[in-house]
Amino acid sequence: MRPLSQADLVDRQQLVPQHQATLDPLISGALPGQPNQVRHVQFGLARHLDVQQNTAWLILHKIMQTMKIREDTRRLGPFVEVDDAYLGGQAPGQKIGRESPNKTPFLLAVGKNEKGHPMHVQLQVAKCSRRSQIEAWARDHLCQDALVRSVGLHAFRALEAQARVHQRLIVNNDNRLLDTAFFWSSTILGNLNTSLQGVYHQLKSNYVPHFLALFQYRFNRRFSLKDLAFSAMRLAARSNPLPLRQIRLAESAT
């Protein structure tokens, strides 16, 4: 069988189903004993497709960017938990806390059904202290009849313009309140942190949107894991070409 090129996989040309098994671990998370999953899949993809490591890296990030573009259209409701979160840690000699340059802030929202069960998640890199960014997110990702509960950040008042009802709760490190009012957002954040810690010890901030999109794509399609890998490959094959410079500007790529 002829090796599969980048153009074959991503740029509207031939899609070979035999290569689906190579990407299954990345997309479905089917490597429970493998701590460095993405790097493992990158090496396997390079061998299987007979391409260089840089080409395999680019293919993986093109697939994740395609997932991001697809998930950017998702709206949440009827019940939504909204929280702010951060990836990264403290660096010697740098500012600590939310404003640390070593941390990447993002918004985490969980859409729940009438029984309170989580159905979908939405993750987006954003400075949660800026009202304009929260307002833009709410306009793009909240249903008009959504009942929203959020943490008490002042910028989250912007959610009131889009949500039918908005409840702000001041948490102040109250673990008891977090475990009740924000149970699912806290649980999903813990799973996300565990997942990303197994990817790289240090994750560059401009690639954070890709890995958030990968987690979101998996979570939102967890009820149909059987077709998950092939649907992602089919989505990538139908997408517009993504040049390397656009991949490296992950969050601004459209």
Walk along the chain (254 residues) and give the pLDDT tens digit of each residue. Answer: 344 444 444 443 344 444 555 566 556 554 333 445 566 667 777 877 788 888 888 888 888 888 888 899 999 989 999 999 988 766 666 666 666 667 889 999 999 999 999 999 999 999 888 999 999 999 999 998 999 999 988 999 999 988 999 999 988 777 788 788 899 999 999 988 887 765 555 677 788 888 899 889 989 988 877 777 777 777 777 777 777 777 776 554 43
- Do residues 38 and 61 touch, judged by C-beta distance below 8 A? no
**Is 48 within 8 Å of 22 (Cβ atoms)?**
yes
Residue 28 in tokens: 């479905």
Decide: helix, strand or coil at residue 30: coil
- Rounded to two decimals, the pTM is 0.80
DSSP state of 76: B
Fold type of domain 79-193? Nucleotidyltransferase; domain 5 (3.30.420)
Q: Domain ranges in the chain?
A: 6-72+204-252, 79-193
Report whether 104 contacts 88 (CB < 8 A).
yes
